Amino acid sequence: MFVERGYDGTSLREIAEALEVTKAALYYHFRTKEEIVEEAFSTHEHRLDGLMRWLAATDPSAERDAELLDRLDTLFSGESGLVMRFGQVNRAVMARESIGARHLELLSRVISTLTRDAPEAEGRLRSILAFGAVVLAATGPSDDEALTLGGTAEERRAAGRRVAGELLAGLR
């Protein structure tokens, strides 16, 4: 709902109605919208942390790159993709909440972990663009018409993986 209607355009009452629970039941778990967003980002951060631990513990190889693309696609095609869309759609909220700064720092750490094997500029750029290709294909671009990718969600994800695979293959 925060992605579709915007954070400020969504009330706790509407969330409770969509979940088919009473407002009191929702308040038992989340007293504010901020707590809902915090929980979503906390879960997202935990998933990215796991990805970074796996990546740091795995030696660079074509097999690792393929597994990385699988993991990124799975991660950003699900709830983490919604978290990314939340950030794209609700930029003002991200700027005023501490979550935005934490999220940027976390994405920087993911990209830093991805680029550790490629100290030169071209390799780092390939790693960053590969990450971006998978995330953008899975989450969808902003509402800017010029950035519309076209195709079905599955076609976009497959294209993102192919492009990312080609970029990463250039590192080896």
Q: Is the pLDDT of residue 149 over 80?
A: no
Residue type, 133: A
Residue 119 three-state SS: coil
Residue 128 three-state SS: helix
Q: What is the pLDDT of residue 172?
A: 65
pLDDT digits (tens, 9 = 90+) for 94-128: 887 677 888 888 888 888 877 776 778 888 888 88
Residue type, 80: S
Q: What is the pTM of this model?
A: 0.77
Contact 112, 167 (CB under 8 A): no
pLDDT digits (tens, 9 = 90+) for 47-89: 989 998 998 898 888 898 899 899 999 998 888 888 888 888 8
Q: What is the pLDDT of residue 152?
A: 83
Contact 134, 76 (CB under 8 A): yes
Tokens of 99: 């979550």
Residue whose token pair is 């097999």: 63
CA dihedral 47, 68, 71, 50 (to 10 degrees): -20
Closest CA to 75 of 84, 64, 66: 84
Q: CB count, 10 Å around CB of 57?
A: 7
Q: Would you kindly state where each structural domain of the chain is located, as residue ranges?
A: 33-169
Name residues whose C-beta falls within 8 Å of residue 129's C-beta, 6 or more positions apart in sequence: 164, 167
Q: By percentage, how much of the chain surpasses pLDDT 70?
A: 94
Closest CA to 104 of 121, 75, 83: 83
Q: Is the pLDDT of residue 141 over 80?
A: no
> What Rg, from alpha-carbon coordinates, does the chain have?
18
